[in-house]
Chains A and B, each alone.
Chain A
Amino acid sequence: MVPLSWYLVLAAALFSLGLYGALSRRNAIAVLMGVELILNAVNINLVAFNRFIVPAAVNGQIFALFVLAVAAAEAAVGLALIIAIYRTRNTVNLEDADLMKG
């Protein structure tokens, strides 16, 4: 069987990718995608810990299900907000979102 550390490394790599994406991209949707990558890294962690550390329990898997559902709700709210911005500003570039500098 694949050892636990492999899963943790995979999750950490996904986390780093998501972090890099969220910090480096200028497009609001791309930032959102970075955040979703981090959430998936969390899910891998939760399920792996559940399987390896407390195989009798299911709370890690349940947590992962909740994360999935909440991530979908978050994405829905986020996309709606991005569309609201797009309607007034005609851009989803975060560098153009500068009405409040100062």
Chain B
Amino acid sequence: MTLPTLDLVVLLPQLIVLTAALLVLVVDGLSGARSWLLAGISLVALLAAGAAAIWLSLQPGEPRRLQAMAVADGFALLFDVVIVVAAVLGVLLAYQSIPRISQQVGSYYALLLLAVVGMMTMGAALDLIVVFLALEILSLALYILAGFNRSEPRSAEASLKYFLLGAFASAFFLYGAALVYGATASLNLEAIAAALAGGSRSPAMLYLGIALLIVGFGFKVALVPFHMWTPDVYPGAPTPVTAFMSAATKAAAFAAFLRLFLTALPTAQPTWSWALAVLAAVTMTLGNVAALRQRELKRMLAYSSIAHAGYAAVGLVAGTAQGAGAVLFYLLAYAFMNVGAFGVVAALERAGEYDVARGRLAGLSERQPALAAAMAIFMFSLTGIPPFAGFFGKLYVFGAAVAAGWGWLVVIGVINSVISAYYYLQVTVEMYFAAPAAEAPAAAAAGKKGRAVAKAAAPSPAPEEGKAAPAPLSRATAAAVLAAALGTVLIGVLPALLTGWIAQAVQGIF
């Protein structure tokens, strides 16, 4: 028997991050938590992994493969970069707030790094077994991270909800994978495509399998009927976790979603693209309409992230190389702008608080002008106003969909962007034009809906609320918000830096 040769360089970014995760566990276990050391190891490892991914993507010649299991092509490596961006910002945001809510700082960084390993592997996977393992590695880590605030019952509840629905969705994904295996006699994505090229022997089993796979992925990226967990989990999880998972999980799930459907199932595209188009339309609309009514920032951003999953799915519906590249660009832009927006929320948060009422933003431009300016950039970018990153993200996604003949879907997407402008721009208006005193009635109004806010608002006298001293902004949080704002502006001003690279990278998955 010949022994397999393993080209482990393919997994170099993952191996760096995994080693760092184990190192964090050992350091934390043996020496007790030194917060700066653990955060430092995590940051260095993430940056090294990002550098390794870029180095690998610059290698000439055919992409390297680890047997038929994983591949280090431009597509996987660019998604690695997106995930690293979200994770670095997530570590920076966590530096101040996690030690306040938990003793287990080491576990936090280790779990975050393990989630990153899973996410990076999602994009690189060439086999359904690897997709499943990566999905579970990232999910299990995130279930725990979502419930990291042990003193807050809502955090535990959020994580239980996320876990039960997530386990349910994983089971659906698995059943779908098993049926596809039965229909094509293979678990390898390329072999599945080859088996389907000659027509499927059992189309009923194949389509049922594809439907179940869509359910599994739809849950992870929060497409509408599988989004129910998002509005509860995003506010319930600690803000740095929400920031990280909102961008990175979406990127990872879309990476595997794109590769699985475009590499393995292109012959079935006429069927699945219609199903996805309907889901995308419903997702955009429901996410935006629900976000309109929210008076709390994290909950509003949760619904907005559902809507953005819908926009990104439009690129997948197109099913072309242009569409896949647009999704990649969109998710990179989204990583900067959305993590940045959650970073501002983290900066405004008070100790022991569950969600930040929108009224807190009133007069922010006078109290913390830099923070307000950053938030304005993120809101403009999320709306899709040029010259910020979000605009080009939407432009490319919608452009790809039009080119592939999905005009009606793009019309729905544009209408939704207009709807979303209402609540995003309202945030900006509140920061710049509302008087700070407006907070008290706003908080009271929000209190009618959530017991949480009522509890927070009731004991503290109203006048003091409005004039509360600006929370001391830690250097790590400030650095994260600044980096996110710079990224959002830079991608928006110079999108051409990336588009050529991305267009080349996505060729690998077809």
Contact = CB atoms under 8 A, between A and B. Distances in A.
B175 A49 contact: no
Given A41-B175, A70-B136, A73-B140, A63 B168 contact: no
A63 B174 CA distance: 10
B187 A81 contact: no
Max count, chain A CB within 10 A of own CB: residue among B154, B158, B174, B231: B174
Interface string A25-64: 0001001100100110110011001000110000110110
Interface string B152-178: 011011111101100110111011011
Given A84-B147, A100-B236, A28 B164 contact: yes
Contacts of B182: 8, 45, 49, 53
B185 A38 contact: no
A79 B144 CA distance: 11
B226 interface: no
A84 B185 contact: no
B179 interface: yes
B175 A15 contact: yes
Interface residues of A, number: 40
Nearest to A62: B129
Contact of A28 (B136, B160, B178): B160
Given A59-B187, A62-B129, A63-B129, A32 B164 contact: yes
Provide the main secondary structure of the chain B interface: helix
A99 B154 contact: yes
A9 interface: no
B128 interface: yes
Interface residues of B, number: 43
A31 B164 contact: yes
A25 B15 CA distance: 41
A4 B129 CA distance: 22
Contact of A85 (B129, B157, B167, B235): B157
B132 interface: yes
B168 A22 contact: yes
Nearest to B167: A35
A77 interface: yes
Contact of B153 (A67, A74, A89): A89
Contacts of B133: 66, 70
A22 B165 CA distance: 10
A3 interface: no
Nearest to B133: A66
Contacts of A31: 164, 168
A32 B172 CA distance: 14
Given A81-B163, A84-B156, A97-B160, A67 B449 contact: no
B150 interface: yes
B181 interface: yes
A60 B181 CA distance: 8
Contacts of A80: 144
B450 interface: yes
Given A49-B185, A78-B143, 13 more contacts: A18-B171, A28-B160, A31-B168, A35-B168, A49-B181, A73-B136, A74-B136, A77-B140, A84-B160, A85-B157, A89-B153, A99-B157, A100-B157
Task: Give 5 nearest A-B pairs by CB, closest first.
Answer: A38-B171, A45-B178, A49-B182, A42-B174, A88-B153
20 contacts: A22-B164, A31-B168, A35-B171, A38-B172, A39-B174, A45-B179, A53-B182, A53-B185, A54-B185, A63-B177, A63-B181, A66-B132, A67-B132, A73-B136, A80-B144, A89-B153, A94-B164, A99-B451, A100-B232, A100-B236
Interface of A: 8, 15, 18, 22, 28, 31-32, 35, 38-39, 41-42, 45-46, 49, 53-54, 59-60, 62-63, 66-67, 70, 73-74, 77-78, 80-82, 84-85, 88-89, 94, 97, 99-100, 102
